[in-house]
Structure 1
Amino acid sequence: MGRMFLVRTFGLLAALLLILQTLDLLSESGSILAHPGNTQAQVWTYVTLRAPQIIAFLLPFSVLLGTILTLITMNQNSEVIALKAAGLSAHQVLAPLLVASLGVAAVSFVFNERIVTRATATLDQWKDVDYGALPIDRGERTNVWVRDGDDLIAVQQVPASSSRWAG
């Protein structure tokens, strides 16, 4: 049951990702290719940077639809009735789904923290330069918030050389 849930969830995720990525690419490919020098390679770069955002958006819907399809299939095949007749409670019937869902939630959390945040930051920087060449990161940061005791201070720019101060 857990395997059926996971296969359906990630199958739906792949199908929805393909549809939404295609529609998003149709709307953005003109802007990407409008910049002089951009080719098909930059379009594929956009796809790899945008796909994690779409996956993070669609995963909860895919889990919901995967759960519904799994339970509908089990109901149509009278598997739920057979499990109840064998003496299993509703909690025992749903336990594999709960374990699989917790696994998907853990994977989603790690994916969002490790991949989505970095891809989003890179894509935002790339959009800011109208899909041109990304500027070289020299360590300067803008719009930084610093805490000094109980005070919160907004700093407009922190130069790269400030991290090398002799203390």
Structure 2
Amino acid sequence: MSMIRNIRRVMLPSRTLSRYMVKMLIARFIGILLGLVSVLMMLVLLAQADDVLAAEGASWVSIVSFIALRAPQLASQFAPFATLIASLLTLATLNQNSEVVVMKAAGLSAHRILLPLGLATFMIVSVHFVFNETIVVNANAELEYWEANDFAVDLPPNEGPVGRVWIKEDNTLILIENVSQIGNRVVLDVVSIFEKSDVGHLQAMARADFAIYQNDQWTLHEVRRFDVESHNLAITPSVEWDIAVKPERFLALTVRPDHVSFIDLWKSITQLREEGLSTDQAMASFLQKFAAPASSLLMPLLAGVAAFGVTRAGNLIIRLVFGMALGFSFFVADNFMLAMGEFGVAPPLLAAWSPFLLFLLVGYAVLFNTEEGKRPLQLVTGMLRRKPKNAKTADTISS
């Protein structure tokens, strides 16, 4: 305990000061996030309220349900941005009230001043991650399912993943329009089968309204099969489907990363690896589940430019704008690299964490080159440029 206490005294300022700074940041973060979500929610309602109320039997309850599903998405999406603004306002207030000057006069370095804000953002990151994995993913799935059914009232519950799937099995191409899970059964809706010869020529096409997996066997229902050579069209109510693909593979291929928790996404990645399929896109989304909330940890560092500097120089507004520009640059780079990872252009690890590491270095570079942070560098530069004491004597003797 004494070792922990000593480390805390070395790393952190006093407990009172740390609590004061943490409360400032968290209070501003909550206020800014609630304001952003409220304004954005009103804009979303202006655009989509008519669609929600157009469904038969829709009422104000439908609007409330829409808000309950859409608001968590907005809160999760704009949490890092709210952290950036809250950090800028907190540090600018401390600077303007000369509280940063008092801290530095008490012997606190820039790192010790920013560390309480880092602890506050760590709490924000932890809550953000849990909020994403428990509430946001379910809200995303339910809202997309509801939108796909035109906001219909009294829909049956969404039982599983939804999405179009292409599969190649030997010389057969299979297209499934929709994959769903009802209880213990996996149902494939609108199955299209394209049978090819060994040289690649199309031999037959088949289309089934749906397929069900029961007793370790797939069964196609309402099947229409067209033979290319004989031009015969055969219609059968049901037929056994001789295919080795298990239901888990279809479910893994239809998993939406923003609709499932990181545990379910990892199970899907494992299943795809066992099938010998590429997992780069899914892995990029998996790593982004950790990198996206962690981006809030950078915001006090990027906002540090608003804290260190002489306020009487009149450039506090410029520092705020510069800190905002750094934050926006990070969001642009993060979204760009995420898109590169999802398209398979960049490796998953690089796509998820390279913006974080890059702007971590940028934040430290800006911190060390602010007016207060660069004094040690100026001291070293001045010592190198200073003439030695005997330089004048040497010049006199030589003359």
TM-score, length-normalised on structure 2? 0.37
Deviation of 1:136 (Å): 2.2
Once the 2 structures are TM-superposed, how far is the Cα of residue 10 of structure 1 from its aligned partner?
Answer: 1.0
Change (3 A) 1:106 1:20: same
Q: Distance in 2 between matches of 1:54 and 1:76?
A: 32
User: 1:89 maps to what in 2?
Assistant: 109
1:11 to 2:31 alignment: yes
Q: Deviations over 1:84-133 (max 9, x none)?
A: 10111111111100001111111111111111110010000000110003
Aligned equivalent of 1:57 = 77
Alignment partner of 1:100 is 2:120:
yes
- Describe the SS at the equivalent of 2:62: helix
Distance 2:181 2:68 in 1: 31
Whole-angstrom CA distance in 2 between matches of 1:29 and 1:106: 33
Answering whether residue 56 of structure 2 is matched by residue 36 of structure 1, we say yes
Q: Which amino acid aligns with 2:94?
A: M
Gaps of 5+ in 2: 1-20, 166-173, 187-212, 217-399
Instruction: Give, in angstroms, the shift of residue 58 of structure 1.
Output: 1.1
Three-state SS of the structure 2 residue aligned to 1:133 is: coil
Q: 1:108 to 1:92 in 2, by over 3 A?
A: same
Change (3 A) 1:17 1:85: same
**Number of equivalenced pairs:** 162
- The Cα of 1:35 is off from its aligned counterpart by 1.1
What is the rounded CA distance, in whole Å, between the counterparts of 2:140 and 2:160 in structure 1? 19
- More strand by proportion, 1 or 2? 2
The match for 1:21 is: 41
Which of structures 1 and 2 has the larger relative contact order (alpha carbons within 8 angstroms, sep 6+)?
1
> 2:94 aligns to what?
74
1:130 is paired with a residue whose SS is coil
Say if 2:132 is the partner of 1:112.
yes
What secondary structure is seen at the aligned counterpart in 1 of 2:74? helix
Letter in 1 for 2:49: S
Percent pairwise identity:
35
Spell out structure 1 runs of 4+ moving beyond 4 A. Answer: 137-145, 162-166
Q: Report the CA distance shift for 1:141/1:165 in structure 2 as closer, same or farther (over 3 A).
A: farther
Q: CA deviation at 1:135?
A: 3.7
